[in-house]
Amino acid sequence: WQVAFDPAWGGPASIEFETLTDWTQRPEEGIRYYSGSATYTKRFTLHVEKDKRYWLQLNEVKDVGIASIDLNGKEVGTAWIKPFRVEITDAVADGENQLEIAVVNSWQNRLIGDRGKDPSERFTQTNIRIKDEWNLRPSGLLGPVEIKSD
């Protein structure tokens, strides 16, 4: 998976994820403390049977739980409750496909990342007191991502 973050909020412009894991478990500080939107991109090949319907099934979407999904440049839906599932029949191609999944998390992780930093080094400016007992919230698209048919 190629994952694109917003560098203005401390994330890398693009990075490869071998597996779909929680951002807070990543070694990169810019991902571990990232808050905002990130887009996952994956190319895949699929043999499509004309008499079947196809569904994209996401395992988990953390922390806000909203995923906007495009397939082959066509918006196919937004998954925001379990099961995180959208129909892709009208967008899936027989052969090569490109999937894009945009997920968003809250700003708690960025606030925690900024905690204790000099104001000039922070990404956020807020009057909210960032409490010591706050923990990072699991974030991102957590695998597996599957295509199912019926």
Examine the pLDDT at 129 and tell me if it is beyond 90. no
Average pLDDT on 123-135 reads 89
Q: Architecture of 2-149 per CATH? A: Sandwich (2.60)
Q: Where are the domains of the chain?
A: 2-149
pLDDT value at position 149?
97
Examine the pLDDT at 127 and tell me if it is beyond 90. no
pLDDT value at position 30?
96
Give the number of other Cβ atoms within 10 Å of residue 130's Cβ. Answer: 14
pLDDT value at position 122?
93
Instruction: For 39-73, write each residue's pLDDT tens digit.
Output: 999 999 999 999 999 999 999 999 998 999 999 99
pLDDT value at position 150?
92
Examine the pLDDT at 130 and tell me if it is beyond 90. no
Question: What own/partner pairs with CB < 8 Å and gap ≥ 24 does 24-32 have?
Answer: 24/109, 24/136, 24/137, 24/138, 24/139, 29/113, 30/5, 31/5, 32/109, 32/113, 32/136
Instruction: For 4-35, write each residue's pLDDT tens digit.
Output: 999 999 999 999 999 999 999 999 999 999 99
Instruction: For 91-114, write each residue's pLDDT tens digit.
Output: 999 999 999 999 999 999 999 999
pLDDT value at position 68?
98
